[in-house]
Amino acid sequence: MSSELLPHTLEPHPVTGMYNGKFGLWLFLASEVMLFGALFSAYILLRTHGDFPSHEETTLNYKIGALNTFLLITSSVTMVMAWASFKLNEPSKGKLYLWLTVFLSVAFLVIKIKFEYLHKIHHGITPDTSTFYAIYYCMTGLHGLHILGGVIVMLYFLLPGFGLWRKNPEQFTNRIECTGLYWHFVDLVWIFLFPVFYLL
């Protein structure tokens, strides 16, 4: 479709002050805040009215959680560097930083699945073990699906979607910016999940 059929794909809309893709993403993130907000609220209610174990009594390893926190925070930095590189018309550096973001994200998922989920399931700890583990698997699993979704989007822009850079670099850069906003939200959710499950 031409830019005439889809106005404000590059220039800011006079009402919102941002291009339409970015405004749409903020609306999407608002719905995500409500989703995770409801889950955190449910966790708080269950924790204050239920028999929840302390982190010393669970099998959650805070060192693994801290490592994954480091990986995600670092991935936020590489995502910003990717966007900045494309903005500065340095696509090779932008692709490198985007690949680093994908690598860090996949490392997070591998550690989470292999050293936490599979390890716990091997020892008979599943969502039906207790209320604590039910909500732990629910919230961290949903977060993991969001990471997987972000990885798929980044791989799309690195592989088949990179053709847009050659046709319209500014629009491609805007899409990387939107991907980055989503990614920072995913990282922010984990920054709340880590202390809630591993430290409190």
Res 58: pLDDT: 80
Ordered domains of the chain (ranges, CATH): 20-199 (1.20.120.80)
Residue count of the chain:
200
pLDDT of residue 47: 87
For the entire predicted model, the pTM comes to: 0.90
pLDDT in tens, 52-65: 777 667 889 999 99
**Low-confidence residues in the chain, pLDDT < 50:** 1-4
Sign of the Cα torsion 79, 80, 81, 87 reads positive
Residue 172, Cβ density class (10 Å: 0-12 exposed, 13-18 middle, ≥19 buried)? buried
Q: What is the torsion angle, in degrees rounded to the nearest 10, for the CA atoms of residue 139, residue 143, residue 149 and residue 151?
A: -150
* pLDDT of res. 53: 75
